[in-house]
Chains A and B, each alone.
Chain A
């Protein structure tokens, strides 16, 4: 027997091979961890403002004991940053897990296969051309123009990728990764072209955005990206049973009664929306989508009914921790968070490749 499956606490004893008890426990643990980390992040920063003080002040009806400056730091700087961090982390991890389920492949990740680059192209397009050719678009969509453009970029990339890499319901790993490289390069080239024609102010916007950072977190950004991400997160559990069936192949999924085409359409739109919204507000933050689901599959198995919510929670935790590291490691300056996630995620990815080398059919 595989000990990985057997050693669940006896209080949660279930039939052999049933990992749902352990999965529920893991979800609870992740949720508890997220609460602790989020509260910690609120209270902790360059200034010594006390989050607890500010909250108490609010609750007791504002006896003016807390300086206005502290209130601003906690409410308008730290809180939006923590919320945005959780949203982005959850969104990236869940889109990674959904994409892996859709492509039936644990190596699919929005960052690796060019979806983030496509979304980035959409975002850059709006930043650079938003005042010119695309002025009607930015006027019509207001603060949603950026996430919407990124969504379209991500959607186009995902659709092309799926078309290229999947044939008769079977996805080829090699084709998917190579097509992802090509699409990423193409989106990168187009983005480069746009940067070339950008003016100084736009360039500043771009650089800031491009590094992948939570530093610019504001309530406006949360208002722009939050609803889209929240909607995707809420939609994802409805894909879970379908994705479980899909892991036996498209034909078998159909035999099990799953409307496969509709499942694929919803999954693709969901991934593009979540990745698009995330990329629009925080740039390219890589590897969260591959690291989190992979670790969770080792711990609780691949059942998407548990994997998706657990990914959301652990992804949120991971991004808050990465953000804390990015704020401290070169303090008082700040490292773009994308560098932190890549520094941890890239070696991890290599480790996955090493483990799977024997069975990877490249």
Chain B
């Protein structure tokens, strides 16, 4: 369980996140949605141990402030919103950096094959020998995800669940690869790990999430199952636009259409 209690984050003198309560349990896919600048990345960076914060964050029952970087690295892996690479590493070399913490959780000796398996998962077979800097934006994002997967390959290690923390994992991907990546994260959760993702696509969030947190102006404005949270009034207020929530008949998963489009269509 990753649990944040009354967490506030300041950057400089500015308060970006205020009094956030948050829980991500093993087995769950939890998503965070909210408008640009609402504090999602900042909150996620606090959850990842990158930023100082007030309040409490516990991961696996331990106070995060007391944990060393390598201890954190063995229970959670983080996909940043934007990544840069300073030197011309190959794709395989970048993915292998995920093994830096050395706790992938596969059998000893199998680490050597892990980059290939991770690349296959994100649908990048045959890319291992390419230079990372020469890939397209979406391909680079999938390489980064493969690196993150290597770090916590086994969703549960020594009986303790591990977590994927993903900041907009599908923002620059085509529709097929959005689904590929979302499936990987959900599968990770189904196998006993935890997945936390910031998403902008509310329909994807509705399809995949066990629980959604809505951030608005640095606060958690609402939380619950997709059906609880995706209500016309709440969404319209938080995102400041006219949206209509409908329900997909067979599954009951809510989906949204911008209201103006819905009007023209109807």
Contact = CB atoms under 8 A, between A and B. Distances in A.
Interface of A: 1-2, 5-6, 15-19, 101, 104-106, 170, 241, 244-249, 251-252, 254-260, 297, 301-303
Interface stretch (B16-24, B29-37, B86-94): B86-94
Contact of A244 (B49, B97, B101): B97
A310 to B, nearest CB: 14
A295 to B, nearest CB: 13
28 contacts: A2-B130, A5-B130, A15-B112, A15-B115, A16-B129, A17-B130, A18-B90, A18-B92, A18-B93, A18-B128, A104-B87, A105-B86, A106-B87, A241-B100, A244-B97, A247-B87, A248-B84, A248-B85, A252-B78, A252-B80, A252-B83, A254-B69, A255-B50, A255-B72, A256-B97, A256-B100, A256-B101, A257-B69
Contact of B129 (A6, A251, A256, A258): A6
Given A15-B128, A18-B128, A301-B88, 18 more contacts: A1-B130, A15-B112, A16-B129, A17-B91, A106-B86, A170-B84, A247-B86, A247-B87, A247-B89, A248-B94, A255-B48, A255-B50, A255-B77, A255-B80, A256-B73, A257-B70, A257-B100, A301-B89
A104 B86 contact: yes
A302 B77 contact: no
Interface in B56-100: 68-74, 77-78, 80, 83-94, 97-98, 100
A15 B126 CA distance: 11
B18 to A, nearest CB: 22
Given A256-B100, A256-B101, A258-B100, A17 B90 contact: yes
A259 B70 contact: yes
Nearest to B94: A248
A259 B71 CA distance: 11
Interface of B: 45, 48-50, 68-74, 77-78, 80, 83-94, 97-98, 100-101, 112, 115-116, 128-131, 134, 151
Given A241-B100, A244-B100, A248-B97, A256 B92 contact: no
Given A1-B129, A16-B128, A303-B89, A245 B69 contact: no
B69 A259 contact: yes
A255 B93 contact: no
A82 B77 CA distance: 48
Contacts of A255: 48, 50, 72-73, 77-78, 80, 151
Contacts of B101: 256-257
B14 to A, nearest CB: 14
A81 to B, nearest CB: 34
Contact of B92 (A17, A241, A249): A17
A169 to B, nearest CB: 10
A261 B84 CA distance: 19
Most chain-A Cβ atoms within 10 A of its Cβ — which of B80, B87, B93, B134?
B87
A301 B93 contact: yes
B87 A302 contact: yes
Contacts of B80: 249, 251-252, 255
Per CB-CB distance, the 8 closest pairs between chain A and chain B, nearest first, are A257-B73, A17-B92, A302-B87, A17-B128, A104-B86, A257-B70, A257-B101, A16-B129
A101 B89 CA distance: 13
A248 B89 CA distance: 10
Contacts of A248: 83-86, 94, 97
Given A241-B100, A247-B85, A2 B93 contact: no
Contacts of B77: 255
Given A1-B130, A17-B128, A257-B69, A251 B50 contact: yes
Contacts of B69: 254, 257-260
A19 B49 contact: no
Nearest to B151: A256
Nearest to B96: A18
A2 B97 CA distance: 20
Contacts of B151: 255-256
Given A255-B78, A256-B97, A257-B70, A5 B85 contact: no
A167 B68 CA distance: 23
A203 to B, nearest CB: 43
Contacts of A260: 69
A362 to B, nearest CB: 16
Contact of A19 (B73, B93, B98): B93
A27 B92 CA distance: 21
B52 to A, nearest CB: 13
A5 B73 contact: no
Contact of B74 (A1, A15, A249, A257): A257
Contacts of B83: 248-249, 252
Contacts of B45: 251
Nearest to B113: A15
B69 to A, nearest CB: 5
A2 B45 CA distance: 36
Contacts of B50: 251, 254-255
